[in-house]
Amino acid sequence: MRRILGSMAAAACLAAAAPAPATAQTFPERTVKVVVPVPPGGSTDAVARLVTLRMQAILGQPVIIENQPGAGGVIAARAVAAARPDGYTLLIGGIGTLAIGPVVKTPDFDPLTAFTPIATLSNENMVLVVNPKVPASTLDAFIGYAKANPGRLDYGAAPGIVPHFVSELFKLKSGTDIVHIPYKGAGPVVTDLLGGQIDMAFNNKSVLLQLVKQGRLRALAVTSAARWPELPEVPTLVEAGIFPYPLEVWWGIVGPAGMPRSVVERLNGAINAALQSAELRASFASLGIEPRPGTPQEFAALLAQDAPRWFDIIRITGIRME
């Protein structure tokens, strides 16, 4: 495990040291494609579209989104890992897509060595919500109801990504039996949650906060270290004694392993410039997302730091993928 976690940092250092071919000096000369491993409508897709809109103005070439959902990010991850390492095919994702899901589901595919880290994008926290038809207005009442009705409630999440892991950790730590209903991404989960087809979900602040404020969903707890200013009456799962530590979600952009140094630096500079845009920051703030600019080396270090915690969550929850 130490070897695997160290490999991403090593890859970043090699990318920074490797000589760049002459063609990289004029990058980009054509359209750049950013693969998004979820359907349109979720926070990952929203972050991708906001960032790529600014990137194309900075790079002077079109930057397009291609949604490739399914298999906990493995489909998208494999496609990008197999692409030419020329900077024209990139992948956006969080810890679930870039490290955890593929390792859990396909042991032959090591995402920590298959990619070149380029830049972090943003971070935020998650919230536990229920459909208002669920007869519980507080976290304690919800846990009590779930315990009294084992197997009656269900939650939605795409298998092998962070909401799935967080939901299973919640079940384990709260002693509840809540059925997992698999989805391809956050968009369909929210649609069915609003329609009452499912009872509960964990997802990001950017996806759910406005729906909570509109009264269309009920917030019961948040995963952050402190309560949200927007929902001061909603406790954290740490203060409730359910989670041992706060859990943060973040996004970043990677490319195939072996990308030239100058291409990585050009993309990193464009992404960081986009994140400094006043318009993008205002858009992020309206969604409850915090920009997170940084270097490729810092991104590699973040992956190496975060992956062990999530691997531990998978271990203690006993999640298994078919």
Q: Which residue has the tokens 């490729």?
A: 296
For a pLDDT cut of 70, what percent of the chain falls above it?
A: 88
**Cβ-based neighbours of 91, under 8 Å, separated by 6 or more:** 34, 35, 37, 76, 77, 80, 97, 98, 115, 253, 254, 255
Could you tell me the CA-to-CA distances from 26 to 52, 61, 115, 140, 177 in Å, in that order? 19, 12, 22, 59, 56
Which H or E run contains 65? Answer: strand 63-67
* pLDDT at res. 99: 72
Signed CA dihedral, 57, 58, 64, 70: sign only: negative
CB 214 within 8 A of CB 190: no
- 124 pLDDT higher than 60: yes
pTM score, two decimals? 0.74
Question: Between these two residues, 103 and 192, which has the higher pLDDT value?
Answer: 192
- Closest Cα partner for 158 from 106, 115, 97? 97
Q: Which token pair is 146? A: 């779930």
* pLDDT at res. 107: 58
User: Strand pairing partners for 38?
Assistant: none
- What's the pLDDT band for 115 if we cut at 50, 70, 90? very high
- What's the pLDDT band for 102 if we cut at 50, 70, 90? low
Work out the average pLDDT over 2-8: 47
- What's the pLDDT band for 104 if we cut at 50, 70, 90? low
- 100 pLDDT higher than 80: no
Q: End-to-end CA distance of the chain: give it in Å, rounded.
A: 22
Q: Which token pair is 311? A: 């691997």
CB 206 within 8 A of CB 124: yes
Could you tell me the CA-to-CA distances from 29 to 56, 57, 133 in Å, in that order? 12, 14, 53
Range(s) for CATH 3.40.190.150 in the chain?
2-123+249-317
Work out the average pLDDT over 3-31: 58
Q: Which residue has the tokens 């993309």?
A: 267
Question: Between these two residues, 173 and 185, which has the higher pLDDT value?
Answer: 173
Single-letter residue type at 10:
A
Work out the average pLDDT over 298-320: 83
pLDDT in tens, 258-269: 999 999 999 999
Work out the average pLDDT over 11-34: 66
CB 290 within 8 A of CB 122: yes
Q: Domain 2-123+249-317 adopts which CATH fold? A: D-Maltodextrin-Binding Protein; domain 2 (3.40.190)
Plot region of 3 (φ>0 → left; ψ -120 to 50 → alpha; else → beta): alpha
**Do β-strands 32-36 and 63-67 pair in parallel, antiparallel, or remain unpaired?**
parallel
Mean pLDDT of the chain: 87
Beta-carbon-side half-sphere exposure of residue 136 (alpha carbons within 13 Å): 23
* pLDDT at res. 101: 64
Work out the average pLDDT over 157-180: 92
* pLDDT at res. 2: 47
Question: Between these two residues, 119 and 113, which has the higher pLDDT value?
Answer: 119
CB 253 within 8 A of CB 32: no
| Residue 293 CB-density burial (10 A; 0-12 exposed, 13-18 middle, 19+ buried) | middle
CB atoms within 10 A of CB 215: 8
Question: 125-222: CATH homologous superfamily?
Answer: Periplasmic binding protein-like II (3.40.190.10)
12-26, 203-217, 278-292: least confidently modelled range: 12-26
Question: Between these two residues, 10 and 309, which has the higher pLDDT value?
Answer: 309
CB 143 within 8 A of CB 170: no
Please state the length of the chain: 322
- 112 pLDDT higher than 90: no
* pLDDT at res. 16: 46
Does the bond joining 28 to the residue before it have cis omega, within 30 degrees of 0? yes
Range(s) for CATH 3.40.190.10 in the chain?
125-222
Question: Between these two residues, 74 and 209, which has the higher pLDDT value?
Answer: 209
pLDDT in tens, 56-69: 999 999 999 999 98
22-26, 171-175, 205-209: least confidently modelled range: 22-26
pLDDT in tens, 251-303: 999 999 999 999 999 999 999 999 999 999 998 888 778 899 999 999 988 88
